[in-house]
Chains A and B, each alone.
Chain A
Amino acid sequence: MVKILPSEITPEHLFLNRRQFMAASGALAGALALSACAPGLGGEPASEIGALQPAVTAPLGPEKLPAALAYTEPTASSGQDELGDPLNTFQEITNYNNFYEFSTSKEAVASAAASFQSYPWQVAVTGLVNNPLTLDLDDLYARYTQQEHIFRLRCVEAWSMVIPWVGFPIAELLKEADPQSNAQYVQFVTVYRPEEMPGQRSNILEWPYQEGLRIDEAMNPLAILATGVYGKPLTNQQGAPVRLVVPWKYGFKSIKSVVSIVLTDTLPATTWNTAAPHEYGFYANVNPAVDHPRWSQASERRIGENGRRPTLPFNGYAEEVAALYAGMDLTRSF
């Protein structure tokens, strides 16, 4: 597989930083961006965007956010992934979501999540670390370079998409937290807000949703924390404002709306594995050789295509990640 080269383009949503939108008033996203950063340069086209760091100005209330988003067009640096597969559309990506906190119906999640408050937000990094962190969104944006990562997403239900995420390798955040030598796993927890997430008021799964990675998996550069897609902030249905993306694993590993990251020395319980251990393993690496009792894992339906395409080992990222599992029997550690 070709090496993944994240685009050098800094995503638009950095400029749509929640604290600076007031300057916008009808301008294009690019203009927004530059005016926020370098007053007086307003009106530049979006293509002129450079690697900018968001400045902090007057606070912008979350109620302004939808208006801000209306001005940005979905943008990506390329129309395809490194295998030549075309990107799925913004429309597809944001209207077909598995997010049981809102609905078990993939096409109903977007509307059910519309009023979710993803701002303000804090992510805590705790557990076996020398430097526990509590970061709000502005910290995440300011400390870690947000870059585009075009990844395939393979759902365990045997459908898939190609998605231009925006985010940063979680390794950067973990290094800053400085894991202790006995830290072996990283646990992730979704926000628990049953008043805003109707699914959490039923017992279809154990809430809050939890996921986990081995620490060496989490340190792999392909494991990212995503804050955006198509150059825009994540929509609520995608797990706003920050979510995990682990492209070589089935989609349910890529936990959404993360509030807690805990370094541990024991294998963390994960939600789907707890619900049905025979169907969903801890590793959940995309593996056409290990069947699921219901869905074929040897082929998949790419959203937007007719017919099926073969599923690739590690979802096509074997070159980057297979070494993590050297010597393991992946039919047992599925």
Chain B
Amino acid sequence: MAHAASQSRPRSRRGPDWFWWAVTAAALLPFALLGVQAWTGSLGVDPVNTVYNLSGRAALVTLLLSLACTPLNTILGWRRALSVRKALGLIAFFYAVVHTANFVGWDYAFDLGLMLNDALLSKPYLLAGSLALGILGVLALTSTRSWMRRLGRSWKRLHRLVYGAGALAVLHFLWQAKVGERWEPLVYAGLLAALLALRLPALRRRLSPQQ
């Protein structure tokens, strides 16, 4: 408990500062863009596909940014990064929900039978995406202070699942990509692997500044 408190309390007690607001606003820009495009009817020839692409990429990028916060603190000593970690994670979940709502509502028009037979049960990439969404959902639900208290030490272990969600999201992207488009998910895979490596104690100790 003492450890968790020392990481998050002093800053959050002061409330969100300009940095928090700036990062949060920037992370929500893609959503604002979607809103503007939807409002002006400029989502393109295939709006469903536009929403898929934008929300999916936004989810992955914000998730990776959220994962970058801890190493930015431990290795570069930039404590401020920790103040936006939770917000970025929640925004990643938000984009995943937008992405899924597009799938369920707009693409499949709530045709659950078709969705199951046609997609969810037969396409590994959709299984990966669904699992990623499920994990992010659980993490979002337990992201509150009261859940942190309730779960105690296991909260941290539970929230390490975020790397699993990231890996599943990258797989989801990779498995649906065509030949010639696989470089992009592979870049995300590389970034995710690097971020995970930076969390390994051996590497972290070597890279951390002398305390």
Report chain B residues within 8 Å CB of A104. 178, 180-181
Contact with A along B156-196 (1 / 0, CB 8 A): 00000000000000000001101111000000000000000
Does B76 lie at the interface of the complex (its beta carbon under 8 Å from any beta carbon of A)?
Answer: no
Contact A306 B109 (CB under 8 A): yes
Contacts of A299 on B, CB cut-off 8 Å?
Answer: 114, 118
A-B contact number at CB 8 A: 61
B45/A296 in contact, CB under 8 A:
no
CB within 8 Å for A95 and B48 given contacts A100-B180, A104-B181, A308-B109: no
Closest chain B CB from A302 CB (angstroms) = 10
User: A332 near B: Cβ within 8 Å?
Assistant: no
Q: How far is the CA of A106 from the CA of B45 in the complex (A)?
A: 9
B122 touches A296 (CB 8 A): yes
Is residue B108 contacting chain A, with contact meaning CB distance below 8 A?
yes
Partner of B48, one of A100, A106, A275, A301: A301
Most chain A Cβ neighbours within 10 Å, of B114, B175, B178: B178
Q: Which residues of A contact B176 (CB under 8 A)?
A: 294
Report the bound CA distance from A308 to B125 in whole Å.
19
Chain A stretch 79-136: residues in CB contact (< 8 A) with chain B? 91-92, 95-96, 100, 104, 106-107
The CA of A76 and the CA of B49, in the complex, are separated in Å by 28
Closest-by-CB residue of A relative to B175 is A294
Q: Is A307 at the interface (CB under 8 A from chain B)?
A: yes
Cα A92 to Cα B107 with chains together (Å): 18
Q: Quick check: A294 and B125 within 8 Å, CB to CB?
A: yes
For A100, list chain B residues within 8 Å (CB): 180
A window 280-298: CB within 8 A of B: 291, 293-294, 296, 298
CB distance from B118 to the nearest CB of A (A): 4
User: Which of B46, B106, B108 is A106 in contact with, Cβ under 8 Å?
Assistant: B46
Chain A residues within 8 Å of B45, by CB: 91-92, 95-96, 106-107, 303
Alpha-carbon gap, A298 to B121, bound state (A): 13
- Are the CB atoms of A107 and B44 closer together than 8 Å? yes
The contact of B122 among A92, A204, A291, by CB within 8 Å, is A291
A326 within 8 A of B: no
Could you say which residues of chain B place their CB within 8 Å of the CB of A159? 46, 49
A54 to chain B, nearest CB (A): 32
In the complex, A308 Cα to B115 Cα: how many Å? Answer: 10
Q: How far is the CA of A92 from the CA of B43 in the complex (A)?
A: 12
Contacts of A301 in B (CB 8 A): 46, 48, 107
Interface flags for A289-331 (1: CB within 8 Å of B; 0: not) read 0010110101101010011100000000000000000000000
Whether, in the assembled complex, B17 has its beta carbon less than 8 Å from a beta carbon of chain A, the answer is no
Tell me, rounded to whole Å, the shortest Cβ–Cβ distance linking B26 to chain A: 24
Asked whether, in the complex, the Cβ of A306 is within 8 Å of the Cβ of B175, the reply is no
With A104-B180, A204-B180, A205-B180 as given contacts, are A296 and B118 in contact (CB-CB < 8 Å)? yes
Please name all residues of chain A whose beta carbon is closer than 8 Å to the beta carbon of B124 when the two chains form the complex: 293
Chain B window 18-59, contacts with chain A (Cβ cutoff 8 Å), 1 for yes, 0 for no? 000000000000000000000000001110110000000000
Min CB distance A56 to B, Å, is 37
B106 touches A308 (CB 8 A): no
Check A1 for interface membership: any CB of B closer than 8 A: no
A70 — which chain B residues lie within 8 A by C-beta?
none
Q: In the complex, what's the smallest C-beta–C-beta distance from B176 to chain A, in angstroms?
A: 5
Find chain B residues with CB under 8 A from A91 CB. 45
Minimum CB–CB distance from A260 to chain B (whole Å) comes to 23
Task: State whether the Cβ of A276 lies closer than 8 Å to any Cβ in chain B.
Answer: yes
Whether B179 pairs with A275 at a CB distance below 8 angstroms is yes
Output the least CB separation between A312 and chain B (Å).
Answer: 15
Interface contact A296-B180, CB-CB below 8 Å: no
B123 touches A294 (CB 8 A): yes
Per CB-CB distance, the 6 closest pairs between chain A and chain B, nearest first, are A307-B109, A204-B180, A96-B45, A296-B118, A275-B179, A92-B45
By a beta-carbon cutoff of 8 Å, the part of chain B in contact with chain A is 44-46, 48-49, 106-109, 111, 114, 117-119, 122-125, 175-176, 178-181
Q: List, sorted by A's number, 20 A–B pairs whose CB atoms are closer than 8 Å.
A: A92-B45, A96-B44, A100-B180, A104-B180, A104-B181, A106-B45, A106-B49, A107-B45, A157-B178, A275-B179, A276-B179, A291-B122, A294-B123, A298-B118, A301-B46, A303-B45, A307-B109, A307-B111, A308-B107, A308-B109
